[in-house]
Amino acid sequence: MIMLPDVMRAVVYLGPEQVELRQVPVPEPKTGELLVRVRAATTCGTDVKTYRRGHPKFPPPFVFGHEFGGDVVQVGAGVETFRAGMRVTANVFAECGECFYCKHGQGNLCENLVYNFGAFAEYMLVPTSIVKRTTFEIPAHVSYAQAAIIEPLVTVVGGQRIIAIQPGETVAILGAGGAVGLLHQQMALRAGAKRVIAVGHSQMRLQAAAKLGADPLINAKETDSVKAIRDLTDGRGADVVIECAGSLSTWENAVQAVRRGGRVLWFGGLPSGTKITLDTGLIHYGAITLYNSHGGTADDAREAFRLITSAEVDVQSLLSGELPLEQVEIALKKMIAGEVIKMAINPDLAA
Ligand SMILES: [Zn+2]
Ligand SMILES: [Zn+2]
């Protein structure tokens, strides 16, 4: 039996650009839940969005952070698959498996999707349906921070399943070198893409993309990226364009940069209510197919975890270093500045 403290340190989100390290009660696992001691919680674009404008599913105050690897310290009644001492990670969401969408293989759209936040803390709960469907034991050769990257990879696996890249295709990634861009490009190359054209704003991130096989690199700050992609493809445009920058201009550029008969995947979400302007002639007479992808299914989660543990996808290259719990805000600001890809928050590090 592990003796647990009554209170713990946790980073509480209070409102846009307002976070505070507080002492809060250590939660107790109810039926089907796990209590995990967080060993690494990785920062993510969603945390940045939350920091800037809140999260649609969680009214403040709440403990944020959602990508984690840690040790099970207590299990709720009825949990049989996991026990204290196991190293685990979990996806941030799980589907119910029962509703209309789940029955149609679209668990990412589940009507009863359960989300889980609370990773920027010493301890966090994992809810029952996530324990049942999208929690995994981390093998010894995988670090807590590497395992934590399951969540963005789940969404990328979901997107790649939809876009179905074919051998020999040229894929352009808008928003290359960020965590999601690096995962998409690796999946594209695994699927047999002939080349990945990396388009981004941060030279550091473009270099990260180059290290993982992207070539050529286009710095969108200095170059007209649509023209550059067309120039690289005999004027046609890329076979596939994946938008993962999450900006209005890249959503529109994606359609300009794809070839006739090509496919666009809009992956980076924009705030609800955002309108884009598209030339219907270009899309219709160019027979361009437009795909959207958001989240992933429980099957995608299993596949993402397999890709991490088998090292078929390099997640270590997404980790830019470690910071203590006291410095979550600094980590998010480094993300916003494009200085890092992901930081691992380690509650055991001294402030
Ligand atoms: Zn995330
Ligand atoms: Zn469902």
- Using one digit for the tens of pLDDT, what is the confidence trace for 199-226? 999 999 999 999 999 999 999 999 999 9
CA atoms of 92 and 271, how far apart (whole Å):
20
- Rounded distance from Cα 98 to ligand 2 centre (Å): 5
Query: Per-residue confidence at 76, pLDDT binned at 50, 70, 90?
Result: very high
- Rounded distance from Cα 276 to ligand 1 centre (Å): 25
Quick one: what percent of the chain has pLDDT higher than 90?
A: 95
- Rounded distance from Cα 280 to ligand 1 centre (Å): 34
- Rounded distance from Cα 130 to ligand 2 centre (Å): 12
Query: Per-residue confidence at 144, pLDDT binned at 50, 70, 90?
Result: very high
Q: What is the pTM of this model?
A: 0.96
CA atoms of 245 and 209, how far apart (whole Å):
14
- Rounded distance from Cα 81 to ligand 2 centre (Å): 22
- Measured in whole angstroms, the distance separating CA 239 from the mean position of its chain's CA atoms is 24
Residue 289 tokens read as: 């197919």
- Dump pLDDT digits (tens) for 162-194: 999 999 999 999 999 999 999 999 999 999 999
Neighbours of 24 (CB within 10 A): 18
Rounded to 5°, the CA angle 231-182-304 comes to 135
Res 104: pLDDT: 96
Ligand number with the minimum distance to the CA of 180: 1
Q: Is residue 16 predicted with pLDDT exceeding 90?
A: yes
Res 182: pLDDT: 98
Ligand number with the minimum distance to the CA of 66: 1
Q: Is residue 75 predicted with pLDDT exceeding 90?
A: yes
Q: What is the mean pLDDT of residues 325-346?
A: 95
- Dump pLDDT digits (tens) for 232-260: 999 999 999 999 999 999 999 999 999 99
Domain 7-149+315-345 falls under CATH 3.40.50.1110: no
Q: Is the dihedral of CA 223, 275, 154, 193 positive or negative?
A: negative
- Rounded distance from Cα 230 to ligand 1 centre (Å): 32
- Rounded distance from Cα 41 to ligand 2 centre (Å): 27
- Rounded distance from Cα 50 to ligand 1 centre (Å): 11
Residues 6+ apart with CB under 8 A from 74: 2, 4, 28, 29, 34, 35, 84
CA atoms of 152 and 99, how far apart (whole Å):
24
Query: Per-residue confidence at 57, pLDDT binned at 50, 70, 90?
Result: confident
Q: What is the mean pLDDT of residues 52-77?
A: 93
Quick one: what percent of the chain has pLDDT higher than 70?
A: 100
- Rounded distance from Cα 97 to ligand 2 centre (Å): 5
- Rounded distance from Cα 238 to ligand 1 centre (Å): 28
Task: Give the H/E segment covering residue 185.
Answer: helix 179-190
Res 15: pLDDT: 94
- Rounded distance from Cα 66 to ligand 1 centre (Å): 6
Q: At what angle are helices 248-257 and 225-232 packed, to 10 degrees?
A: 20
The 3 state secondary structure assigned to 206-238 is: HHHHHHCCCCCEEECCCCCHHHHHHHHCCCCCE
Query: Per-residue confidence at 120, pLDDT binned at 50, 70, 90?
Result: very high
Ligand number with the minimum distance to the CA of 119: 1
292: helix, strand or coil: strand
Please give the torsion angle defined by the CA atoms of residues 108, 158, 176 and 235, in that order, rounded to the nearest 10 degrees: -120
Residue 349 tokens read as: 């590090």
Res 350: pLDDT: 87
Q: Is residue 1 predicted with pLDDT exceeding 80?
A: no
Query: Per-residue confidence at 145, pLDDT binned at 50, 70, 90?
Result: very high
CATH class of 155-292: alpha beta
Query: Which residues pair with residue 263 across a beta bridge?
Result: 240, 289
Strands (E), 79-119: 87-90, 93-94, 114-115
- Rounded distance from Cα 252 to ligand 1 centre (Å): 25
- Rounded distance from Cα 275 to ligand 1 centre (Å): 25
What's the whole-number average pLDDT of the chain? 96
So where are the chain's domains?
A: 7-149+315-345, 155-292
- Rounded distance from Cα 44 to ligand 1 centre (Å): 4
192: helix, strand or coil: coil
- Rounded distance from Cα 46 to ligand 2 centre (Å): 22
- 32 in the Ramachandran plot: left (φ > 0), alpha (ψ -120 to 50) or beta? left
* The two domains 7-149+315-345 and 155-292 share their CATH topology (first three levels equal): no
- Rounded distance from Cα 43 to ligand 1 centre (Å): 7
Res 56: pLDDT: 80
CA distances from 221 to 61, 156, 237, 328 (A): 37, 25, 20, 28
Ligand number with the minimum distance to the CA of 89: 1
Q: Is residue 2 predicted with pLDDT exceeding 80?
A: no
113: helix, strand or coil: coil
Rounded to 5°, the CA angle 329-334-337 comes to 125
Would you give the DSSP letter of residue 178? S
Ligand number with the minimum distance to the CA of 104: 2
